[in-house]
Amino acid sequence: MTMDLTTAEVDELFQLARASEDPEAYWSCVTQLHARGGERAFRLASVLCDSILAGERCLGADVLGKLDGYSEQSRVMLRPLLGDDSPAVLAAAAASAGFTHDDESVEQLVALSAHPERGVRFAAVTALLRLDDERGVAALVELSADGDGEVREWAEQALDQLKGAAG
């Protein structure tokens, strides 16, 4: 029997996401948490950002990235995660920093654009696209020559999008 996520409580959604081994089910829970928002979701996500478990730090970052009404508080919670040891946490934090339009994280995102893990570089691309900073544009130019085809294509698309917005 599957649970109707639209009627699940915020705490249940966090529990389901934490226990999920299926990316689609995980993101369904996170999307519901984004839609619900609220103080409870913010507080639980913030606690997870300090967890010793990388998966929980990822969940905290993923929720904070698109939690309506909490952008400034989310930025503060996400910044320390941009220096995490786990590539998965770095990727989640980088993507979320872009969604919260955290201009103060540009230097960290530029540094992550040279990370050896493809997923971290990819997340840096998606974040830098949303920030439109000249340091970020320079990093996107570098990433447009990345050895990974998907990272390279996204960087090229990001540059085209930024060029279109400027022109």
Task: Tell me how far CA of residue 164 lies from CA of 94, 135, 147, in angstroms.
Answer: 24, 18, 25
Instruction: Give the confidence band of 2 by pLDDT, cuts at 50, 70, 90.
Output: low
6-10, 24-28, 47-51, 110-114: segment of lowest average pLDDT: 6-10
Structural tokens at position 96: 């979320």
**Cα(86)–Cα(90) distance, rounded to whole angstroms?**
6
Residue 68 has pLDDT above 50, yes or no: yes
pTM of the model: 0.93
Q: What is the pLDDT of residues 30-48, one digit of tens each?
A: 999 999 889 999 999 999 9
> Does the domain made of 5-166 have the CATH classification 1.25.10.10?
yes
- Are 112 and 95 in contact by the 8 Å Cβ rule? The answer is no
The residues near 54 (Cβ < 8 Å, ≥ 6 apart) are: 84, 86, 88, 89
**Domain residue extents for the chain:** 5-166
